[in-house]
Amino acid sequence: MINEKIDKTLDFIDLDPKFLFSILKKYFLHITIFVTLISTLVYLGSLNLDKKYRSSAKIVIEPDEKNIVNIQEYSNFNNTNRINNQIAIFKSDQVLEYIIQDKENSKKFEMFFAENNQNLVQKLFNKKKTFNTKSLKSILSSSIQISNIRNSDILDLSFISTNPRVAKLALDRIINSYQRYEIDSKIQITNYANEKITERLQILVKEMDIAQKKLSKYKKENGLVDTGNVKQLKINEIQTISKRIIEAKQKYQNQQNDLLSIKVADGDLDALLAINDLNTRKDITDIKDLLSSNESNIQSLSLIYTDQHPKIIQAKDQKKNLKKQLKKILDTNIEQKAFELSNLNSFIKLSEREMDKVTSELRDIEEKESGMLKFTRELESSKNLYQSFLQRVKETNEAQNLQISKLKILESPNLPGSHFYPSPKKNSFIAFIISFFGIFALLFFKEMNSSALRNTDAIESLNILQLGVLPRVEKIKENFDIIQLFSSDNESHFAESIRSSRAIIESKFNKNSSFLITSSNPSEGKTTFAFNLALSLEKSNKVLFIEGDLRRPTVLNRFVGIQSKKFGLGEIISGKSELNEVIHEIPGTNLNIITSGDVKIDMSDVVSKDQLKKFFDTLKIEYEYVIIDSPPVQPVSDTLILAQSVDNNFFIIRADETTTGSLMSSIKKIKSVGAKIDGIVLNDVDTSKGSYGYYNYYQNYYGAYQKT
């Protein structure tokens, strides 16, 4: 039940500010008293808390550029790891022990702790703070705060204490102790490294002697002194022979091609002269030039003489002789080519044999050299390690004589001028804000779920038109029914209130409209108001009253003459009756009525809002006012369908019974389907109290529906 109330309360966080202001106005005095009391108590309590002071400093710890004492010569820590390690060292027992073991420091701490002022509680109980040297380590460890400034090597240090001088002294001594610890640690590591390096040097000397002996023995066995130049000469020789073989093979290939062309020419001079090598030889070129000149001479003589002329015959004989001579020269060159081809073949074979020999010699040299290089490398490696460790001995000796801290102070520890805790004004203000909202939330919860509405204050904040206030009717005359009290007791205060509501409705709303009357829960007076309003309107208007609660009718059995007629709204919706069969007239009035009928159905299962709207629009043509008495909003869903189908929705609130939460929940439900509340009536107004609560109503009403 409580969880349901909380959920319902949370649904109204978006309430109109005017409603919240009305709650604040109602409980302003209570809130003011409680908030002021709580704020004052917090302020007085803060004044009696121990004052705390903070001394701060900034330092930077530079990384080691040379790991001269790192035996493993390898570090797996990044900058973050390094900074975290330094922070841990600051809080370590080793650093704090330097402070505790210093008697001068202990005396200063004891003197400063004795200066602490006592607060009011300590004075009342005569409780003095005592200093214990054994607890100093715990105080230093718990009060020091260290943080790393992002993306830097800078550390921000602070120390909190109830005495400003203690805060400054502690921070200053912690920094000094860290520097002392750092230097002592380096000296210890340096001494250790020096011992290890000396041991390593002795081993290296022995290893160098062994390597030197192995190298000398290998050289002696293989007759080697320095094979470097011999190897290079062999490589150069191989390159020369290789180049020579390539050139010879190229010439050999060219000669083969020419001889093949000569064979194909088969003695044809023109084909032989087409071979490039023969064509470019000088003796052949000279004969070709003479033949060309002779041919030109023959052509010239042919223009002057006949073919039998001695000069022409002589020129032709000369041509024959030149060709014979050319043929002879070509044959000589061809024979020479064949001879050259044979020589080239022999040359290539000799060069290849020479190449194999030189290559074999180079391979032999390399094998010997690789063995020698193995021993040479061992010797050189031992010498290099020896020189490296010898240099480190010198460096560690120098480091041992000159050790400095990597810690640099950017801002020295300061003496706090004022305390940062407590802050009475700040605490009082925070208490004021928290208590204000806390108390207001409790009152809001009470107003929403426990307090029943008694007057129009909360209603006014909703910005909904107030149609009127109906008084509580304590006594009803005999044979009178409250549902038609307006007609039976026309002079009563109740009847006058109905007339006031009628006047507002007639002035604010158009005629030929439909009006839904509903409430949050049963028994809040919606039927009483709806029927009496209809009776008042029918005096000068044509009015139709519709009993919209199909599952729990309250009007049907009150009137003689229509109680036996079972046709009503349920039959129309289910299609079992026509409109003219369900409209009845209230005896003694001009008021027409459609009862709920005999059919008990869930309206949302059989009819849509559009169908209902068309039905009501049809009725508005005949009637100036169509009043629908609907079921309450909370127990069933019928009202949400009806609210979307009518022109106006009126809401009935029962004084001292309808809770604010129930009202707001109902309004929100109606708004969630796109409808709105156009007017509110406060019913049964009286100074007496009597509320059964929203949830009891819901359970009782819903149980009544379940039974039907």
Residue 190 CA, chain-centre distance (Å), reads 48
Is the distance from CB of 155 to CB of 148 less than 8 angstroms? yes
Q: How far is CA 476 from each of CA 483, 489, 492, 534, 544, rounded to the nearest angstrom?
A: 11, 9, 10, 20, 26
SS3 content of the chain, % helix, strand, coil (to 5): 60, 10, 30
Mean of the pLDDT values across residues 507-517?
Answer: 93
Q: Assess whether pLDDT exceeds 60 at residue 66.
A: no
Collect all residues with Cβ–Cβ distance below 8 Å to 71 and sequence separation of at least 6. 193, 196
Q: Assess whether pLDDT exceeds 50 at residue 705.
A: no
The pair of structure tokens assigned to 218 is 């290998």
Mean of the pLDDT values across residues 425-429?
Answer: 87
Q: Assess whether pLDDT exceeds 50 at residue 67.
A: no
What pLDDT sits at residue 5?
Answer: 46
* Nearest-angstrom CA–CA distance, 34 and 41: 11
475-484, 551-560, 582-591, 599-608, range with the lowest pLDDT: 551-560
Q: Which of 135-139, 487-491, 657-661, 665-669 holds the top average pLDDT?
A: 665-669
Strands 679-685 and 466-471: parallel
Q: How many residues does the chain have?
A: 708
Mean of the pLDDT values across residues 406-432?
Answer: 86
Higher pLDDT, 637 or 652: 652
* Nearest-angstrom CA–CA distance, 611 and 569: 13
Is the C-alpha dihedral spanning 286, 289, 291, 293 positive or negative? negative
What pLDDT sits at residue 393?
Answer: 61
What pLDDT sits at residue 647?
Answer: 94
Mean of the pLDDT values across residues 407-434?
Answer: 86
Higher pLDDT, 22 or 667: 667
Q: Assess whether pLDDT exceeds 70 at residue 454.
A: no
The overall average pLDDT reported for the chain is 76
Residue 207 CB-density burial (10 A; 0-12 exposed, 13-18 middle, 19+ buried): middle
Higher pLDDT, 679 or 108: 679
Is the distance from CB of 428 to CB of 42 less than 8 angstroms? yes
Residue 19 CA, chain-centre distance (Å), reads 39
Determine the straight-line distance between the first and last CA of the chain, rounded to whole angstroms. 26
* Nearest-angstrom CA–CA distance, 446 and 9: 10
The string of pLDDT tens digits covering residues 563-579 is: 545 678 888 888 888 88
> How would residue 224 be classed by pLDDT, with cut points 50, 70 and 90?
low
Mean of the pLDDT values across residues 202-217?
Answer: 70
Is the distance from CB of 93 to CB of 177 less than 8 angstroms? no
> How would residue 513 be classed by pLDDT, with cut points 50, 70 and 90?
very high
What pLDDT sits at residue 503?
Answer: 93
Mean of the pLDDT values across residues 613-623?
Answer: 92
Is the distance from CB of 384 to CB of 216 less than 8 angstroms? no
* Nearest-angstrom CA–CA distance, 580 and 651: 30
56-70, 125-139, 279-293, 394-408, range with the lowest pLDDT: 394-408
Q: Which of 338-342, 524-528, 536-540, 623-627 holds the top average pLDDT?
A: 623-627
CB atoms within 10 A of CB 339: 11
* Nearest-angstrom CA–CA distance, 32 and 655: 28
* Nearest-angstrom CA–CA distance, 592 and 599: 20
Give the up-direction half-sphere exposure of residue 446: CA atoms within 13 A in the CB hemisphere.
Answer: 10
What pLDDT sits at residue 439?
Answer: 86
Is the C-alpha dihedral spanning 263, 266, 271, 274 positive or negative? positive
What pLDDT sits at residue 707?
Answer: 37
* Nearest-angstrom CA–CA distance, 546 and 527: 10
Domains in the chain, start-ordered, CATH in brackets?
Answer: 1-49+422-450 (no CATH), 228-401 (no CATH), 459-707 (3.40.50.300)
* Nearest-angstrom CA–CA distance, 275 and 271: 7
What pLDDT sits at residue 246?
Answer: 87
pTM reported for the whole predicted model: 0.47
The string of pLDDT tens digits covering residues 249-266 is: 888 788 777 777 777 777
Q: Assess whether pLDDT exceeds 60 at residue 502.
A: yes
481-485, 590-594, 696-700, range with the lowest pLDDT: 696-700
Q: Assess whether pLDDT exceeds 70 at residue 73.
A: no
Mean of the pLDDT values across residues 299-326?
Answer: 80
76-85, 318-327, 403-412, range with the lowest pLDDT: 76-85
Pick from 543, 648, 650, 651: which is nearest to 592 by CA? 543
What pLDDT sits at residue 614?
Answer: 92
Higher pLDDT, 658 or 531: 531
What pLDDT sits at residue 552?
Answer: 74
What is the CA angle 505-506-511, rounded to 5? 105
What pLDDT sits at residue 469?
Answer: 87
Mean of the pLDDT values across residues 448-460?
Answer: 62
Q: Assess whether pLDDT exceeds 90 at residue 507.
A: yes
Higher pLDDT, 582 or 562: 582
What pLDDT sits at residue 71?
Answer: 38
% of the chain residues with pLDDT over 70: 72
219-228, 350-359, 566-575, 627-636, range with the lowest pLDDT: 219-228
Q: Which residues lie across from 594 on neighbouring strands?
A: 546, 583
Give the up-direction half-sphere exposure of residue 696: CA atoms within 13 A in the CB hemisphere.
Answer: 9
What pLDDT sits at residue 648?
Answer: 95
* Nearest-angstrom CA–CA distance, 291 and 206: 92
> How would residue 505 be classed by pLDDT, with cut points 50, 70 and 90?
very high
